[in-house]
Amino acid sequence: MSLNSPWRSDFPALSALSAEGQTYLDSAATSQKPQVVLDALMGYYASGAANVHRAQHLPGERATRAFEGTRIRATHWLNAASPAEILFTRGTTEAINLLAYGLEHLFQPGDEIVISALEHHANLLPWQQLAIRRQLKLVVLPLDRSGLIDLEQARQLIGARTRLLAVSQLSNVLGRWQPLTELLPLARAQGALTVVDGAQGVVHGRHDVQALGCDFYAFSSHKLYGPDGIGVLYGRGDALARLKHWQFGGEMVHSATYQSADFHGAPLGFEAGTPAIASVIGLGAALDYLGSLDAAAIAGHEAVLHTKLLAGLAARDGVRLLGEPELALASFSIEGVHNADLAHLLTEQGIAVRAGHHCAMPLMQTLGVQGAIRVSLALYNNGDDLERFFSALDKTLELLR
Ligand code: PMP
């Protein structure tokens, strides 16, 4: 299979970056955008910005139609039952904070929230802080050696006091699909709510929230080739009905007096204030773009690149891979070499990779490392990107060793 991406030319930033000598291998942090997304952003502003849902005039009506069009596209993308199950948030982080506040009233002291040891801070801290506010117990599911949530232990730890399970679908550090089809039923059997952090998972393949059987699924547009500042929270209808409102203001209110108010249900009741209209429209364009591509071809291309990445790392002395990544990325450190030095010298050679704790400090502690370098791939990467990375890595190691 060719290592050249047939989609690379759809992304103007890739040639701009390469003209500057930059090799972009940090797509798990954020992705570059296809021209159609840039056109959608520009098209909205150039044809007349307007607020959504409230204006009677033509630009307002046009903006509302485009904005709600994205909600319909996201409904299809996730196979939600209805557009009313799609809430726009600022991103995955805000979606999970919304849940931690909106569901707070359901918890009693001593109840348990279950997460896993590999969670991004976005799917740890909102629950940790809720646990502190309500005197709950935060239970952390351990991992096996390959980087999977350990199901045996999960069977022991998910129990009668479990009220909510919140886990990542695909780790941003370990690059493994988590065993959600086994895990989620354990929580459901206890009558607990289930939350899936789809920030990384949504980028790779199509996911059906009804088949997954989760109550909530969150993702960010900016990782899925769409604009930043916007994300999606899917909630199953009856799970959404249990949420209390959390941010108050324009748009979310049905009627108000000075002393009281009553609020819309989902989705508008959870979208207070003027949303990121252009970004929502841009996300719609990203979903149209991705929907027009051959998903199997994308997965195949990414798999070939990933194999090359792992083979290249395995061929170098002293590389310590974190877990056993199966797609999209690889995190590693190198014996005797400080991550910060490695990152610095790679950066100097125009290699854009991520270094540090990857917003998962407790995971780093569990793995016994200070941090790691992460190379992450997207549909627009070519084999050459990896060759440039490996030659920069070799030069760096020659200098540091
Ligand atoms: N969860 C995971 C697994 C992530 O990788 C990220 C982004 N690094 C987030 C949550 C948070 O996403 P955002 O910053 O877009 O809210």
Q: Is 305 in contact with 157 (CB distance < 8 Å)?
A: no
Query: Do residue 280 and residue 133 come from a single domain?
Result: yes
| pLDDT of residue 55 exceeding 80 | no
Angle at 346 between CA 341 and CA 352, to 5 degrees: 125
Cβ-in-10-Å burial (0-12, 13-18, 19+) of 235 comes to buried
pLDDT value for 8? 98
**Is the Cα torsion angle 198, 201, 206, 207 positive or negative in sign?**
negative
From 86, 180, 266, 359, the catalytic residue:
359
- Mean pLDDT, residues 84-113 taken together: 98
- Mean pLDDT, residues 382-386 taken together: 98
pLDDT value for 182? 98
Judge if the beta carbon of residue 31 lies within 6 A of ligand 1: no
- Mean pLDDT, residues 158-186 taken together: 98
Tokens (6 digits) for 246 = 């959390």
| pLDDT of residue 1 exceeding 70 | no
**Residues 8-39: pLDDT tens digits?**
999 999 999 999 999 999 999 999 999 999 99
What CATH number does residue 226 fall under?
3.40.640.10
Q: Is 66 in contact with 284 (CB distance < 8 Å)?
A: yes
pLDDT > 70: percent of the chain? 100
State the total domains in the chain.
Answer: 2
Q: Cα of 122 to ligand 1 centre, how many Å?
A: 6
Query: Do residue 42 and residue 121 come from a single domain?
Result: yes
Mean pLDDT of the chain: 97
Q: What is the DSSP string of 66-123?
A: HHHHHHHHHHHHHT-S-GGGEEEESSHHHHHHHHHHHTGGG--TT-EEEEETT--GGG
**Residues 214-238: pLDDT tens digits?**
999 999 999 999 999 999 999 999 9
Query: Do residue 162 and residue 142 come from a single domain?
Result: yes
Query: Do residue 391 and residue 265 come from a single domain?
Result: no
Query: Do residue 280 and residue 307 come from a single domain?
Result: no
| pLDDT of residue 272 exceeding 70 | yes
Look at residue 2 and tell me if it is in a domain.
no
> Could you list the residue range(s) of the whole structural domain that residue 162 is in?
38-291
Judge if the beta carbon of residue 200 lies within 6 A of ligand 1: yes
Name the pLDDT band for 178 (thresholds 50, 70, 90): very high
The neighbouring-strand residues paired with 24 are 352
Name which residue sits closest to atom 5 of ligand 1, judged by CA: 172
What CATH number does residue 374 fall under?
3.90.1150.10
pLDDT value for 56? 86
Q: Cα of 92 to ligand 1 centre, how many Å?
A: 6
Q: Cα of 28 to ligand 1 centre, how many Å?
A: 9
DSSP one-letter code for 337: B
Query: Do residue 168 and residue 274 come from a single domain?
Result: yes
Q: Is 359 tagged catalytic?
A: yes
| pLDDT of residue 354 exceeding 70 | yes
**What is the C-alpha to C-alpha distance for residues 96 and 91, in angstroms, rounded to an integer?**
9
* pTM: predicted TM-score of the whole model, two decimal places: 0.97
